[in-house]
């Protein structure tokens, strides 16, 4: 589903944020991206939805080399990728339902149909009773669930999450992580960047560790579970 070959990314003036990254993520996988601050986790995710372009190398998504995609093609790539950030990026003056519907508005889905899909999605994240509330009146965890609903309402093949629980307390963190696992179980490929060690241990999924722009380890879910078990 996602393949990177010899990816380099250098921001002007800085040492390379990523160098010679090679990795492959299968359809339906759940992957943690971890490593210290500044390791290049966010940069790697940004390359996947073309918020940044790689300096060198190839990125295949669904078999297509997106490193060469023209700017006019970017919107169509993004319609197939849901993105979730640490800061929620909800529109404060639109209702929860309108915020989620945003993704469908862009696709030209008529309001009548869109409302139905939005309500179904809100139900999935447990917020159907908050559809007509404005986001500032929601808790952090609820806001993040709205963001996830917005990212998923269009049924994208891939969900990218950059520190999705970074602003949340431990209980809400688990709530969000459980939701992401549920999304993955339903078939969406999920990539989560986090430096929260406890998450890696609790969920025991494939974990790719970055340090100073290179991959230092890549263990699959079974290895991760084993390591956690022996440590515990």
Partner 1 sequence: MSATAKAAYFWRSAVLGLRHSPFVHSVAVSTLAIALFTAGLARGAMRMLDGLKDTLGGEVEVTIYLDDSVTPERGRALASALAERTGGEATWVSPDEALTRLSRELGDLADTVAELPENPLPASVELRVPPPLRSPEKLAALAREARAQEGVTAVDYGEAAVERLSAISRALQVGGGIAFLVIVIATVIITSATLQLAIYARREEIEIQKLVGATDRFVKAPFLIEGLLQGLLGGAVAVIALWAFSRWAGPRVDELFAFLVGPGRSWTLVDGRALVEVMAVGAALGLCGSFVAVGRFLKV
Which x/- pattern over 33-52 shows residues binding ligand ATP (rule: CB under 6 A)?
--x-xxxxxxx---------
Question: At its nearest, how many Å lie between partner 1 and the CB of residue 191?
Answer: 16
Residue among 91 and 185 whose Cβ is closer to partner 1 = 91
Residue among 177 and 193 whose Cβ is closer to Mg ion = 193
132 makes contact with partner 1 (CB under 8 A): no
Sign for the pseudo-dihedral over CA of 28, 187, 160, 170 = negative
Please identify, among the stretches 41-49, 76-84, 108-116, 203-211, the one whose residues bind Mg ion according to the rule CB under 5 A: 41-49
Q: With CB under 6 A, what is the number of residues at the site for ligand ATP?
A: 12
Cβ-based neighbours of 30, under 8 Å, separated by 6 or more: 180, 181, 184, 189, 190, 192, 203, 205, 206, 221
Question: At its nearest, how many Å lie between partner 1 and the CB of residue 92?
Answer: 9
77 makes contact with partner 1 (CB under 8 A): yes
CB atoms within 10 A of CB 21: 23
Question: At its nearest, how many Å lie between ligand ATP and the CB of residue 176?
Answer: 17
Q: With CB under 5 A, what is the number of residues at the site for Mg ion?
A: 1
Residue among 155 and 196 whose Cβ is closer to Mg ion = 196
Question: At its nearest, how many Å lie between Mg ion and the CB of residue 121?
Answer: 26
Residue among 94 and 195 whose Cβ is closer to ligand ATP = 195
Ramachandran angles phi, psi of 183, nearest 5°: -60, -40
Please identify, among the stretches 11-19, 74-82, 107-115, 167-175, the one whose residues bind ligand ATP according to the rule CB under 6 A: 11-19
125 makes contact with ligand ATP (CB under 6 A): no
Tokens standing for residue 90 = 């909800």
62 makes contact with ligand ATP (CB under 6 A): no
19 makes contact with ligand ATP (CB under 6 A): no
Task: Give residues in contact with partner 1 (CB under 8 A).
Answer: 49, 72, 75-79, 83, 89, 91, 102-103, 105-111, 150-151, 154
Task: Give residues in contact with ligand ATP (CB under 6 A).
Answer: 11, 14, 17, 35, 37-43, 195
């Amino acid at each position: 589903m996602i393949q990177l070959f010899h990816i380099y990314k250098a921001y002007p003036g800085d040492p390379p944020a990523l160098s010679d990254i090679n990795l492959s993520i299968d359809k339906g996988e759940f992957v943690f991206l971890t490593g210290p601050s500044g390791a290049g986790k966010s940069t790697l995710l940004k390359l996947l939805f073309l918020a940044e372009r790689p300096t060198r190398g190839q990125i295949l998504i669904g078999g297509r080399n997106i490193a060469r995609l023209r700017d006019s093609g970017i919107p169509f790539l993004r319609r197939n990728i849901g993105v979730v950030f640490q800061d929620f990026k909800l529109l404060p003056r639109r209702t929860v339902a309108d915020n989620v519907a945003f993704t469908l508005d862009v696709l030209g889905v008529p309001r009548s149909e869109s409302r139905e899909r939005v309500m179904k999605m809100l139900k999935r994240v447990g917020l159907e009773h908050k559809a007509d509330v404005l986001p500032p009146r929601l808790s952090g965890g609820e806001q993040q669930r709205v963001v996830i609903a917005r990212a998923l309402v269009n049924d994208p093949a891939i969900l990218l999450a950059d520190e999705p629980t970074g602003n949340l307390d431990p209980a809400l963190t688990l709530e969000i992580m459980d939701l992401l696992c549920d999304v993955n179980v339903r078939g969406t490929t999920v990539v989560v960047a986090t430096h929260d060690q406890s998450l890696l241990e609790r969920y025991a999924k494939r974990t790719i560790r970055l340090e100073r722009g290179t991959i230092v380890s890549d263990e699959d879910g079974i290895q991760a579970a084993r390591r956690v078990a022996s440590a515990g």
